[in-house]
């Protein structure tokens, strides 16, 4: 039996850096049918914190749905490289968020993280901005 792979798209948005932030995440099947989506108003934060919070939102969503195999797509090259270990996490606030990300990643059977151009992450970006607009 083939394993089912789900796609998680996450994006953080900030109006200014730092500024008012929002997080958005979308989970689809391989045909990109939306199975779950979430958004969260973050208040005052940096772009990097918004990106981390969006990923955490999406990983929690995937875990709550019982999804075990994820391909994660994000337009934050920094976050993608920090997750892969190519870049160190130096900021103390981001280190705390990275610990949460690592804990969540450990609850899945398989996760692949990929950096994508912003164009390929528009649904998650829309949700992040909607979270800010609706506040």
- Which residues, 6 or more positions from 4, have their beta carbon under 8 angstroms from its beta carbon? 29, 67, 69
In this prediction, residue 6 carries a pLDDT of 98
Please indicate, yes or no, if residue 34 is contained in any of the structural domains.
Answer: yes
Please indicate, yes or no, if residue 69 is contained in any of the structural domains.
Answer: yes
Mean per-residue pLDDT, 102-115: 96
In this prediction, residue 17 carries a pLDDT of 93
Please indicate, yes or no, if residue 38 is contained in any of the structural domains.
Answer: yes
Please indicate, yes or no, if residue 55 is contained in any of the structural domains.
Answer: yes
Mean per-residue pLDDT, 83-111: 96
Please indicate, yes or no, if residue 1 is contained in any of the structural domains.
Answer: no
Residue 2 in this model has a pLDDT that exceeds 80:
no
Mean pLDDT of the chain: 96
Residue 3 in this model has a pLDDT that exceeds 90:
no
Please indicate, yes or no, if residue 14 is contained in any of the structural domains.
Answer: yes
**Domain encompassing residue 126:** 6-134
Rounded to an integer, what distance in angstroms lies between the CA atom of residue 121 and that of residue 118? 5
Q: How far is CA 135 from the centre of its chain?
A: 20
- The predicted-structure confidence for 42-90, as pLDDT tens digits, reads as follows 999 999 999 999 999 999 999 999 999 999 999 999 999 999 999 999 9
Rounded to an integer, what distance in angstroms lies between the CA atom of residue 76 and that of residue 62? 20
Number of domains composing the chain: 1
Please indicate, yes or no, if residue 39 is contained in any of the structural domains.
Answer: yes
- Which residues, 6 or more positions from 76, have their beta carbon under 8 angstroms from its beta carbon? 11, 12, 48, 51, 115
Please indicate, yes or no, if residue 72 is contained in any of the structural domains.
Answer: yes
Strands (E), 17-98: 19-28, 34-45, 69-74
Domain of residue 57, CATH code: 3.30.420.10
In this prediction, residue 130 carries a pLDDT of 98
């Amino acid at each position: 039996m083939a394993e089912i792979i789900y796609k998680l798209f996450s994006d953080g948005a900030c109006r200014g850096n730092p500024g008012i932030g929002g997080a958005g995440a979308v989970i689809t099947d391989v045909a990109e049918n939306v199975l779950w989506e979430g958004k969260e108003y973050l208040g005052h934060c940096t772009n990097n914190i918004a990106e981390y919070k969006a990923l955490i939102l999406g990983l929690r969503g995937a875990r709550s749905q019982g999804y075990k195999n994820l391909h994660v797509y994000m337009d934050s090259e920094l976050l993608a490289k920090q997750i892969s270990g190519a870049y160190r996490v130096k900021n103390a606030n981001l280190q705390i968020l990275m610990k949460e990300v690592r804990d969540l990643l450990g609850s899945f059977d398989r996760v692949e993280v990929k950096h994508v151009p912003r164009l390929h992450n528009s649904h998650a970006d829309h949700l992040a901005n909607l979270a800010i607009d609706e506040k």
